[in-house]
Amino acid sequence: MLTYAEAIRVRRSIRNYSKQVLDAKLLNKINNLLENPSKGPFGNTPRFILVEKPEARQQQKVKLGTYGFISNAGYFIGGCVEKFEFAEVDYGYSLERIIIELTRLELGTCWVGGTFKRKDYEILLKTTDSETIPCITPVGYKAEKKSLRERLGLTLTDGSKRNPFEMHFFENHLENPLSFNPEDKYHNALELVRRAPSAVNKQPWRVIKQDNKYHFYIFRDKMVGNTKNTDLQKVDLGIALAHFKLGVEEQFLKGKWHIGKPGLCDLEYVISWIAE
């Protein structure tokens, strides 16, 4: 099985799926992941469900539409989280950790934020007024052939292109970029952050190292709008934090999340990691 770092490096957004049915053993593994999601950095644990598309149509009278961006997907993962300032961060964190585990099971996924019918998932998840559904993902085997949309270049970027390390990671202030050092274990964890997927591939994270602290900020981009009261760039930060934590865990580094007031720049501060 792939390591977490390897899974992060090889994963790509899959929009065209095989019609192959997932066997009972694999479905059981997926449901086990969904029943035991990781708690987010802010302490909230989203809840998730796996839905087989035909089954949902028969039992719940919903269509699970994705407005044409996903082809042939027979299975979807939907989830919800309690609303609060950083709900999307915790949600992105928890779902990305599940997605990386699915990658290790050789399954394809694709973050879907603004192009699905939330009302369908509200029915299936039986959400309350205090809960929100930020994103979903299809899950299944990749189709052998690309869809027509993919062949014509009509899909959104899969995020395979990334900005250089120096654009996102700094020491003490934003005028002092870090240069990647493969011998530095924390640099390796930050490299996994650099490879994280994001809406329109904007990579909205900036990280400032200060002594043994790593402060995470949002670098906002007006091209990425919010959908149905969902802050997609906070979802992106959650995904990035999941990659960082997986890198930390895999290298046996110790530390903890901390909410502080570093005051090192004018960007939107989210959270810090304190290395032990």
Strand order in the sheet with 205-210: 173-177, 169-171, 205-210, 213-218, 268-275, 255-258
Taking CA atoms, 154 is separated from 70, 143, 150, 211, in Å, by 12, 17, 6, 45
Do 213 and 272 contact (CB within 8 A), yes or no?
A: yes
Q: Is residue 240 pLDDT above 50, yes or no?
A: yes
In the numeric block, the tokens 């192959």 are attached to 20
Do 164 and 120 contact (CB within 8 A), yes or no?
A: no
Q: Is residue 112 pLDDT above 70, yes or no?
A: yes
What distance in Å separates the CA atoms of residue 207 and residue 194, rounded to the nearest whole number? Answer: 10
What distance in Å separates the CA atoms of residue 37 and residue 208, rounded to the nearest whole number? Answer: 28
Output b/e per residue, 235-266; b: 16+ Cβ within 10 A. Answer: bbbbbbbbbbbbbbebeebebeeeeeeeebbe
Do 230 and 88 contact (CB within 8 A), yes or no?
A: yes
Name the residue ranges covered by the structural domains of the chain.
4-151, 165-275
Predicted pLDDT at 120: 85
User: Percent of the chain beyond pLDDT 90?
Assistant: 73
Q: Is residue 8 pLDDT above 90, yes or no?
A: yes
Number of other residues whose CB lies within 10 A of the CB of residue 182:
8
Q: Is residue 149 pLDDT above 70, yes or no?
A: no
Taking CA atoms, 121 is separated from 25, 216, 244, in Å, by 25, 31, 29
**Chain segment 150-183, per-residue pLDDT in tens:** 544 444 445 568 899 999 999 999 999 999 999 9
The reply to whether domains 4-151 and 165-275 share a CATH topology is yes
Do 60 and 123 contact (CB within 8 A), yes or no?
A: yes
**Chain segment 82-94, per-residue pLDDT in tens:** 999 999 999 999 9
pLDDT band at 148 (very low <50, low <70, confident <90, very high): low
Predicted pLDDT at 54: 61
Predicted pLDDT at 147: 55
In this structure, CATH architecture of domain 4-151: 3-Layer(aba) Sandwich (3.40)
Q: CATH number of the domain at 165-275, please?
A: 3.40.109.30
Question: 62 or 73: whose pLDDT is higher?
Answer: 73
Q: Is residue 143 pLDDT above 70, yes or no?
A: yes
Do 245 and 191 contact (CB within 8 A), yes or no?
A: no
